[in-house]
Structure formats: C-alpha cells, structure tokens
C-alpha cells in the first residue's frame, strides 16, 4: 500500500465511514451537456468527461477505455481542482504554504451535495480535504439547465494552527479532450477594444491575464472561446465560451499537456496577491462562467444571452432609456443656459433622457478639463449656479428624464479631496506619482473611502430623488499599487475589488433599479460580476460606426444587445442614417449637437427613434443571429428574432468601399418558423428616398432560411434595416 493510498483510505474511514473504496461518479447535466467528475478508489477527484450528454449515464464509465493516450505519471492531470506541491507536475489551480511552512497540498474527495434551486437551476458542492493538513476546498457548480451554462467557484478554508498563505486560488479547473484546440482571445487599447485573434493552442501554457487593477480589461478581457477539433463557425463545431465574473485582475491559464488534453484554470490573478488566510476564514473565489455548444458559436451566444438576461444582468428583462449625452457636444464647456437648450433638444429629438457628462462639479479646482477637480463632487457654481436641481426641474418641464456622469473611484491630484485625504489615494509613499489621464485611483480597500464613494451616489439621489440615470466612469488603471491603511499589501488588489462590490451592493440595496451605465473610458471594464449592478456598458469611446460594426459583433458573442450602449456621434465619415442604424443594434443613445443637424437628418433621427421604440423589445430580448460576418465579406448582417418567431429585424451594412461591392447573394435568415409566411419591409428610410425592397411580397420562413433575402446593399444603400413580420 503506497503512501497516498494509506492516507486516503484512512481519511475515508474518518470522513465517510466507508471502508470500501470505489469510484464515485458525480455529474452536472444541462440540456445538452454533461460534466462528469469521478472520485477514484483513492478519492482523487478527476474530470472524466465534459461534452455532449450521453443517452445512458452508465456509459460514462466506458469513456476512459476509449482513450489510448500515453502514461499519466501524476494521477492528477485531469484533477477537478489541481493542487500543487505533491504529485502534480503541471499548472496548479491552488497552491498554498501551510501554517508550518510546508508547501504541499493534496485534495481528496470527502462528500458532495446536490441542491435543486429551481426547475432550471441546480447547485452541486463537492468537499475536498487534504489528508494530512486540516485544509479543505469546496467546489461549487451552479448549473443552468436550459441555457447550458455553468458557473463554477471554490471556497477555501482551513483549521491549521496559524495562517495559511494562498499562493494561487483558482475559481475553476476544466479538463478537455479533443483532437486539437483553437483559442479565440481578445486584445485592445483605448478606442480599439475587443480585437479578436484565433490561434491553435500549442503545448505549454498560454495565459490570458490582466494586472491593471481597475478597468482591468482595457488590454485584454477575460472572455475567450475554445473550439474543439476545428475552429467553430456560427452553426457548426464544438465551442466553449469562458469568462471570469470579476472586475479586477484575472488570470486564465490554458495548458495543453503532454497527453494533448487541455487544462483551463481560471481565477483571480495571483500576481502580487499571495493571500493570508486565517484559521476558519472562508476565501470565496469569483465564479468562472462557461457554456459549451456542439452546434457552433451562434447557439453558445444565444445561451449566454438568455442566461444573462434571466439571471445575471441587473433588470435584464426590463426597460432601458434612450438618451442624449452632451459629452461630445460640449466636452467641459457648458453652463446652465447651454444645458437648458440641450434639454429642449432632448425633447425635440424624442429620446427619454438627457445625460449630463463630465465637467459639472468642483469649485476650488473647477473641472474645466481633465486635469483638475475630480473627487470634488459639488456643483460648479459658475456653470451651475442653481445646482443640478434646476436641471432636473428643467428636464421635467421638457418632459424628459435627467441623468448624470460620475467617476467616483478617481481623484485628480489637483483637487480638494486629494489635499484633504492624501491617504485615501493609491500611490507608493516613497515614489513619484504616476498618472493615467492626470488622475489617481482612490483606495477602495479603505472602508472610509467606501463610505465616501457610496456617499457620492447617495448624495446625488438624496438631493435630487428624480435623477433617473447614472453613467459611472472609470478612466485610470492602478499604478504604484499601495494602500496607506491596509495591513497586508498582498491583499491590496483583492480588497480593492471587495470594496468596490461592497459599495455597489449598498447602492443597489438602496436604489435597486435606477439604470447605471458601466463606462470605463471605453470598454475597459465589462464582466458579469459588474453587470449584476449595472444595466448596460460602454463598449468603446470609438463610435465610428464602421468600427462599431466590428466591435459590437465581437461583444455580441458574450453580451446581449440590451447591455450595449451605442451612441450616435460625429465619429467616422458615415451619414447619419448609417450611424443611427448601427447604434440601434443595442441600447440607442445620441451624443451629437442636435441643433447642427440638417433638417432631413433631424427628421431621420426623430423617425428612427420612433421606430426604435417599436422594435426595441426585439433587439433587447430577441434571439440574436449573426448572419454575415464583416470580417469575411463586404456586407455585415445581424438579425434579431422574437421568441414567437412572428417578428424579426435585420440590420445590413456595406463594410467595403471598393468598386461595385454589395450584397450580390441573398443572405440566409435564421431562427424563423419555416411554415410561417412573412412580409419583408424596409425601415429607417432616409427622408425623400424610396425602398429597393418590395414590401408587398410574401415569403415563407422556409424560403427566407433556405434561399435567403437580398437587402440590396450597395454603395447607394450602405445601411439597410429590414422588418420581417408574420402575415396571418
């Protein structure tokens, strides 16, 4: 009997009272998939299978016999949660230094429990313990049956005689087998968010991570896709979408091992974050989220969208407000009378709300540019002598709502706040300050700062209860990470996020539904932890519609259209129709000088907003189908279909300006009912133009899906929006 067996047999007796050791299969089943874990005779918990569900559960046992890969030297290659310092030779999910300084960990299955939380949702927990140290990890698997989604996290605890240091503490550890793996990852920068790259995964470790602290996904978001065997397409292939539900530093390791299997380990980035865990303290990791589709990317994203709207996003099934924002119309240069004019324009345009952006606050160092005033959240007396209250009142007079911009986590060194509370600011005490957009980040690990940030929002609502919208910005990353009040600097990045979530939790307890936009100088911050507190996000400051077609396309794999704030601005060379049509493929807003619009342009916008108000339920709640990929051809096409398949809207754009480019072939629609009859009518016609589409013709769903429909996109019709409606 070897060392490991003796220990596990002993722990078995103690913990489960069973003397007979045998395989225990534990499975998490969703509509199409199964994750099957197996505790072997020695109670090692391994991943037996992750893939399409088998008709007979008994056959999962036979899977292993079908794989003739080379020898497994460690016995933990496929571990459900790989410990380090014992037999493991590859990337661990968890790595610890025990109270006595020993660095080894072994985790063996003890027990599991499955709870049904609803018809759709189940929660499996599996307790693992180290046979030598009084150290345990509970793995949680929350499964959403209909949407084939699993959220996975772990809770780490111990009862050792002193503190344990967690060197690595992943949320999840998946293990996949296939004849090759293809990774789609994203990179970016300001105005260049969500740039995709696809590559075959080679042996060794590929790490996707961030160390930016805040607006953590500016350079790289945590969302990714893994195609199995061959790159998946919209409708074909097996693909796993993964993401960490966390707004701070994340790390995902993808390791192709010597057996050619893929280990995915994802969690909080352990960079500069060794965590000291006291006895009996529970360390709960954020959830790693994934969905697996064997019918291509389209189904994977529709599953993700449904899950997000039903279970994750704040008010995911609710309403959203169309708006006019003044950022690009005025920048910092405005006063009350200018804003009163913009409020009139808001009404004239026909949107629901006016959103006052940056520049309305600070007196000692007025916020007239991005160099001063951030942190001093009192109305600037020169610009707003009668305060925000008078704007809210004037908005009411114009029958529109009023919303406001804040960036409460940040401070300009040139501010009253900085002068009064230098110890609230993240900076190294002995080093030169270093700025991102002339600002520093406040230390949210400090409870006093948490109160301050909560107070910024709370004061606004207390003074003006009719405030209807918040745009929460976050422009700086964390340089010189250091807290003046935190005892253990290794906890800094984690405590910052805990502080942020505490504040957001307080805000949502008091103000549960007010819509808030998650903005970060563009798309440097969107994830499914933050979207529990925010109704929408700002994908990028780049609102050039041509760029947005590509960017929104990529975001659409992971986030439903209802979360994507798309504003019509003066970026790009496209006409107003093109700009508005692109912005309509999500949550529509405007950031233009309405009074500068030509008569027909204004008329176009006003009509488009009326149309949007009719079709927005389709865009926000419908099933989204990416029909023609802008990266692959001259035309981009996106379709949204309602659940009854009685109505759809199809957006089509010319994305190539070369001679004679256009929609030469019909574009095949998806998601309709083959047996229904539909009429196809063009929407959003520019005043004075007529449609190239005959709206009186009748087509079967069968025809539209097998033959398709030609939106007649060409250099004279660069943007074409079609409504598809069932004829009864």
Residues of this chain that bind ligand DGJ (CB under 6 A): 327, 357-358, 405, 473, 475, 519, 521-522, 538, 541
Cβ closest to ligand DGJ, residue 290 vs residue 361: 361
Give all strands (DSSP E) within 163-272, no chain letters: 164-176, 181-187, 195-200, 204-209, 224-228, 238-244, 250-256, 262-268
252: its two tokens: 């995902």
Closest residue to ligand DGJ, Cβ-based?
Answer: 358
Cβ closest to ligand DGJ, residue 242 vs residue 521: 521
Q: Which residues lie closer than 8 Å to 512 by C-beta, 6 or more apart?
A: none
Q: Helical H runs in 350-413? A: 387-397
Cβ closest to ligand DGJ, residue 242 vs residue 539: 539
Q: What's the 3-state SS for 411-438? A: ECCCCHHHHHCHHHECCCCCCCCCCECC
Minimum CB separation of residue 190 from ligand DGJ in Å reads 9
Cβ closest to ligand DGJ, residue 328 vs residue 725: 328
Minimum CB separation of residue 593 from ligand DGJ in Å reads 16
What is the C-alpha to C-alpha distance for residues 466 and 548, in angstroms, rounded to an integer?
Answer: 33
Give all strands (DSSP E) within 587-714, no chain letters: 587-590, 623-628, 635-641, 647-654, 677-683, 698-700
- What is the H or E stretch that residue 338 is in? helix 336-349
Question: Which is nearest to 253 in space by CA: 36, 92, 66?
Answer: 92
Confirm if 33 and 292 have CB atoms less than 8 A apart: yes
Cβ closest to ligand DGJ, residue 38 vs residue 326: 326
Confirm if 495 and 543 have CB atoms less than 8 A apart: no
Cα 526 versus chain centre, distance: 4
What is the C-alpha to C-alpha distance for residues 44 and 8, in angstroms, rounded to an integer?
Answer: 9
Minimum CB separation of residue 519 from ligand DGJ in Å reads 5
Minimum CB separation of residue 473 from ligand DGJ in Å reads 5
Cβ closest to ligand DGJ, residue 464 vs residue 591: 591
Cβ closest to ligand DGJ, residue 475 vs residue 535: 475
Confirm if 619 and 586 have CB atoms less than 8 A apart: yes
β partners of residue 87 = none
Cβ closest to ligand DGJ, residue 175 vs residue 327: 327
689: its two tokens: 């133009």
Minimum CB separation of residue 328 from ligand DGJ in Å reads 8
Q: Which residues lie closer than 8 Å to 24 by C-beta, 6 or more apart?
A: 38, 39, 109
Confirm if 442 and 409 have CB atoms less than 8 A apart: yes
Cβ closest to ligand DGJ, residue 153 vs residue 537: 537
Cβ closest to ligand DGJ, residue 130 vs residue 357: 357
Q: Which residues lie closer than 8 Å to 487 by C-beta, 6 or more apart?
A: none
Minimum CB separation of residue 240 from ligand DGJ in Å reads 31
What is the C-alpha to C-alpha distance for residues 444 and 308, in angstroms, rounded to an integer?
Answer: 27
Minimum CB separation of residue 501 from ligand DGJ in Å reads 22
Minimum CB separation of residue 618 from ligand DGJ in Å reads 27
Minimum CB separation of residue 375 from ligand DGJ in Å reads 14
Minimum CB separation of residue 493 from ligand DGJ in Å reads 23
What is the C-alpha to C-alpha distance for residues 432 and 427, in angstroms, rounded to an integer?
Answer: 8
Distance between the two ends of the chain, CA-based, in angstroms? 75
Cβ closest to ligand DGJ, residue 468 vs residue 494: 468
Minimum CB separation of residue 370 from ligand DGJ in Å reads 6
Cβ closest to ligand DGJ, residue 131 vs residue 413: 413
Cβ closest to ligand DGJ, residue 250 vs residue 405: 405
Cβ closest to ligand DGJ, residue 374 vs residue 576: 374
Cβ closest to ligand DGJ, residue 457 vs residue 519: 519
What is the C-alpha to C-alpha distance for residues 52 and 481, in angstroms, rounded to an integer?
Answer: 44
Q: What share of residues in the chain are helix, strand, coil (percent, to 5)?
A: 25, 30, 45
β partners of residue 439 = 436
Minimum CB separation of residue 524 from ligand DGJ in Å reads 9
Residue with tokens 């398709």: 708
Minimum CB separation of residue 474 from ligand DGJ in Å reads 9
What is the C-alpha to C-alpha distance for residues 519 and 526, in angstroms, rounded to an integer?
Answer: 8
Minimum CB separation of residue 669 from ligand DGJ in Å reads 35
What is the C-alpha to C-alpha distance for residues 321 and 574, in angstroms, rounded to an integer?
Answer: 25
Confirm if 280 and 164 have CB atoms less than 8 A apart: no
What is the C-alpha to C-alpha distance for residues 535 and 563, in angstroms, rounded to an integer?
Answer: 6
C-alpha distances (whole Å) from 406 to each of 188, 259, 355, 677 are: 24, 51, 11, 49
What is the C-alpha to C-alpha distance for residues 628 and 348, in angstroms, rounded to an integer?
Answer: 35
Cβ closest to ligand DGJ, residue 232 vs residue 355: 355
Strand, coil or helix: what is 365? Answer: coil
Minimum CB separation of residue 471 from ligand DGJ in Å reads 6
Cβ closest to ligand DGJ, residue 227 vs residue 569: 569
Minimum CB separation of residue 402 from ligand DGJ in Å reads 16
222: its two tokens: 């945590």
Minimum CB separation of residue 403 from ligand DGJ in Å reads 12
What is the C-alpha to C-alpha distance for residues 231 and 237, in angstroms, rounded to an integer?
Answer: 7
């Amino acid at each position: 009997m070897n060392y490991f067996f003796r220990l596990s047999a002993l722990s078995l007796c103690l913990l489960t009272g069973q003397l007979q050791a045998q395989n225990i299969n534990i499975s998490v089943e969703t509509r199409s998939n199964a994750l099957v874990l197996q505790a072997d005779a020695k109670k090692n918990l391994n991943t037996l299978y992750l893939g399409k569900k088998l008709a007979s559960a008994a056959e999962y046992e036979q899977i292993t016999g079908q794989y003739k890969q080379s020898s497994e030297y460690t016995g933990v290659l496929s571990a459900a949660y790989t410990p380090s310092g014992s037999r493991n030779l590859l990337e661990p999910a968890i790595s610890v230094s025990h109270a006595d300084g020993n660095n080894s960990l072994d985790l063996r299955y003890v027990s599991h429990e499955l709870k049904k939380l609803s018809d759709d949702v189940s929660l499996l927990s599996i307790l693992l313990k180290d046979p030598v140290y009084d150290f345990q990890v509970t793995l949680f698997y929350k499964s959403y049956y209909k949407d084939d989604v699993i959220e996975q996290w772990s809770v780490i605890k111990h009862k050792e005689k002193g503190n344990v240091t967690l060197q690595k503490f992943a949320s999840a550890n998946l293990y996949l087998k296939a004849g090759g793996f293809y990774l789609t990852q994203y990179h970016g920068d300001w105005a260049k968010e969500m740039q995709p790259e696809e590559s075959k995964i080679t042996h060794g470790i590929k790490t996707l991570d961030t160390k930016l602290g805040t607006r953590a996904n500016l350079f790289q978001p945590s969302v990714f896709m893994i195609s199995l065997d061959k790159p998946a397409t919209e409708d074909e292939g097996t693909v796993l979408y993964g993401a960490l539900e966390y707004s701070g530093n994340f790390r995902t390791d993808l390791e192709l091992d010597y057996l050619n299997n893929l280990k995915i380990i994802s969690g909080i980035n352990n960079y500069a974050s060794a965590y000291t865990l006291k006895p009996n303290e529970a360390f709960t990791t954020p959830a790693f989220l994934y969905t697996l589709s064997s019918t291509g990317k389209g189904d994977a994203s529709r599953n993700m969208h449904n899950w997000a709207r039903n279970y994750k996003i704040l008010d995911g099934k609710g309403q959203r407000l169309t708006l006019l924002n003044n950022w690009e119309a005025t920048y910092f240069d405005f006063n009350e009378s200018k804003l009163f004019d913009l409020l009139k324009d808001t009404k004239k345009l026909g949107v629901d709300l006016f959103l006052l952006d940056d520049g309305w606050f600070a007196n000692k160092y007025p916020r007239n540019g991005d160099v001063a005033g951030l942190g001093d959240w009192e109305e600037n007396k020169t610009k707003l002598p009668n305060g925000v209250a008078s704007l809210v009142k004037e908005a009411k007079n114009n029958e529109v709502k009023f919303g406001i911009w804040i960036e409460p986590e940040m401070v300009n060194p040139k501010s009253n706040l900085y002068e009064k509370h230098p110890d609230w600011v993240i900076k190294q005490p002995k080093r030169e300050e270093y700025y991102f957009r002339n600002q520093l980040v406040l230390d949210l690990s400090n409870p006093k700062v948490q109160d301050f940030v909560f107070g910024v929002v709370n004061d606004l609502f207390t003074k003006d209860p009719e405030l209807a919208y918040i745009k929460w910005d976050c422009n700086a990353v964390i340089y010189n990470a250091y807290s003046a009040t935190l005892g253990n600097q290794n906890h800094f990045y984690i405590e910052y996020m805990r502080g942020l979530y505490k504040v957001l939790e307080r805000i949502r307890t008091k103000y549960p539904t007010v819509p808030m936009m998650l903005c970060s100088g563009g798309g440097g911050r969107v994830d499914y932890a933050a979207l529990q507190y925010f109704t929408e996000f700002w994908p990028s400051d780049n609102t050039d519609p041509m760029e947005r077609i590509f960017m929104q396309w990529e975001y659409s794999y992971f986030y439903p259209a209802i979360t994507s704030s798309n504003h019509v601005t003066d970026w790009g060379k496209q006409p107003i129709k093109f700009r508005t049509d692109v912005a309509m493929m999500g949550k529509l807003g405007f950031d233009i000088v309405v009074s500068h619009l030509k008569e027909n342009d204004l008329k176009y916008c006003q009509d488009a907003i009326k149309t949007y108000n009719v079709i927005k339920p389709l865009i926000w709640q419908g099933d989204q189908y990416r029909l023609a990929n802008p990266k692959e051809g001259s035309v981009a096409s996106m379709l949204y279909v309602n659940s009854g398949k009685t109505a759809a809207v199809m957006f089509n754009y010319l994305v190539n300006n070369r001679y004679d480019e256009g929609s030469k072939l019909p574009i095949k629609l998806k998601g309709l009912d083959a047996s229904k009859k539909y009429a196809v009518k063009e929407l959003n016609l520019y005043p004075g133009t007529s449609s190239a589409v005959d709206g009186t013709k009748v087509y079967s769903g069968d025809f539209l899906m097998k033959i398709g429909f030609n939106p007649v996109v060409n250099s004279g019709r660069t943007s074409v929006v079609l409504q598809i409606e069932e004829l009864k």
